[in-house]
Amino acid sequence: MKIMSSLVSLLIVACALLTVGFACGGSDKPADNKPADNKPAASPSASSSAKTDSSATPQTSSAPKDIAGKYSATGKNSDGGGNYEADLEVISRDSVYQFRWDSAGRKYDGVGVMTGDKVAVSFTDGPDGTGCGVELFKINADGSLDGKAGYWGNNTSETEKATRTSGTDLEGSYEIKGKNPKGETYQGEMTVTKKGQGYEFIWKGTNGFKGFGVKVGDSVSVGFGGDKCGFVAYEVKSDGTLEGKWGSAGSSELGTETAKKK
């Protein structure tokens, strides 16, 4: 689905049914976001190439409430990398989703979370989405952020509240409190800085780490887990179509994707 700078060339992953669980250890978020020991029973082959150019073939969309299902996706690669099309499968994994794209045999895998009509996904190329995580923030009127996070390797989502202590708009410093997938509480600090087409998020605590994401309306989708992990910010349309923007921390221009249910 995506052409990404650094280690991730692009995202697109069609999904074969597998057993997944996603992990976040300790009282603070992990620095490397390693998944739990339970691995998928099967996984796609690794890939590093960009999607091939192709024209879109519209598919009939179905009215969704649940986004799980098979899709036909068309889009534009980031940084002017051309157009692509792919098969996408979205699988419900308790409180998170698994996303898998296949574009001309190139496979990608990721984890996603949904709040309202917004979906955030973190993905990577290779056999699975090990090490990638994602957080979807809702921006409140008072500037605070309500977050829902997922980690590849854990089927339980995480919740987080970020209260701004300084700054304007989305940028600034925040105090955070949350509950990880194990049910353990944590707290710390977070800073948000505008970077190019998106925003850099830095969490500070026992295990500090950083992510990168994009703002769409009153929500922000943030992918984390290192340079190999990119992000996608989808909006779910009334007919079930997923309209997305995607990229990575190194993207100078974001890519776009439209995924219609088959």
Domain boundaries, the chain: 69-261
Would you place residue 207 in the very low, low, confident or very high pLDDT band (cuts 50, 70, 90)?
A: low
Phi-psi region of 167 (alpha: psi -120 to 50; beta: other; left: phi over 0): left
Helix (H, G, I), strand (E, B) or coil at 131: coil
Would you place residue 52 in the very low, low, confident or very high pLDDT band (cuts 50, 70, 90)?
A: very low
Which DSSP letter does residue 14 get? B
Check: CB of residue 46 under 8 Å from CB of residue 214: no
The CA-to-CA distance between both ends of the chain, in Å, stands at: 17
Identify the sign of the CA torsion 58, 59, 62, 64: negative
- In angstroms, the Cα distances linking 53 to 82, 83, 85, 104, 134 are 6, 5, 8, 10, 28
- What pTM does this model have? 0.75
The stretches of 142-192 forming alpha helices (DSSP H) are none
Average pLDDT of the segment spanning 8-29: 34
- pLDDT tens-digit map of 116-175: 999 999 999 977 889 999 999 999 999 999 999 999 999 999 999 999 999 999 999 999
**Alpha carbons 261 and 61: distance in angstroms, whole number:** 5
Tokens read off for 54: 């192709």
The CATH number of 69-261, from 2.40.128, 3.40.50, 3.30.700, 3.30.1490, is 2.40.128
Confidence check: pLDDT of 42 > 80: no
Which DSSP letter does residue 172 get? E
**Alpha carbons 192 and 28: distance in angstroms, whole number:** 18
